[in-house]
Amino acid sequence: MVPLQAMPLHVPCRIVAVHGNPCVSLRVRELGLIPGTHCTVERRAPFGGPLEVMLDRRTVAVRPTPDVVIMVEPLVEPVVEPVVAT
């Protein structure tokens, strides 16, 4: 589990939790960044500016602040075990 701003670009991940100031975290969740949602970080503004985050049907910009932390986990492709003939 890592904060959203630590995710590499274009790697799909799932939001696990939104912590922080209740008022701010409500606003984050209202925009659709709720636990369980899949998203990717598409771009970072220069000099540590906001992140461009792609959700299912839309794109939102989020500025990382100490007031709110969006924790995500990378979506790992399920590894298919090779069928071993016995």
Partner 1 sequence: MKDAVRSTPLIAVVGAPNVGKSTLFNALTGLRQKVGNFSGVTVEPALGDVDTGAGRVSLIDLPGLYSLTASSEDEQLTVQVLSGTHPTIPQPDAILMVMNAHDPEKCLVLFSALAELNIPMMVAVTMVDAVKARGGVFDDITLTHKLGVGVTAVVGRKGLGAQEVREQLSQVVSWRRPPTLLPAQSTLEERFAWASALTSTVSLPGRPDRRTRAIDAAVLHPLWGTLIFLLVMAAFFQSIFSGAEPLMSAIESGIGLMQEGVETLIPAGIIRSFVTKGLLGGVGSVVVFLPQILILNLLISVLEESGYLARAAFLVDRAMGLFGLQGRSFIPLLGSFACAIPGIMSARIIPNYRDRLVTIMATPLMTCSARLPVYTLLIGAVIPSTYLFGVVSLQGAVLAGLYVAGALSGLVLALLLKKTLTRDAAAPFLMEFPPYRLPSAKSIGFTMVARTKDFLRTAGTVILVFSIALWVLTEFPVASQSPGSTPLEQAHHQLEQSLAADLGKTLQPVFAPLGFDWKITLGVLSSYAARETFVGAMGQIYSANVEDSDEPLRVVLSREYSLAVGLSILAFYVFALQCISTMAIMRRETGSWKWPGLAFAIMFGMAYTASWITHSLASSL
Point out which residues bind partner 1 (CB under 8 A): 21, 23-24, 26-32, 34-36, 43, 45-50, 52, 56-63, 65, 67-68
Nearer to partner 1, 2 or 64 (CB): 64
| Residue 35 CB, nearest approach to partner 1 (Å) | 7
Which DSSP letter does residue 27 get? H
**Phi/psi of residue 49, nearest 5 degrees:** -80, -165
Nearer to partner 1, 41 or 81 (CB): 41
What contacts 77, CB < 8 A, 6 or more positions away? none
Nearest CA to 2 out of 86, 64, 78, 73 is that of: 73
| Residue 20 CB, nearest approach to partner 1 (Å) | 9
| Residue 47 CB, nearest approach to partner 1 (Å) | 5
Interatomic CA distance for residues 41 and 11, integer angstroms: 7
Nearer to partner 1, 2 or 29 (CB): 29
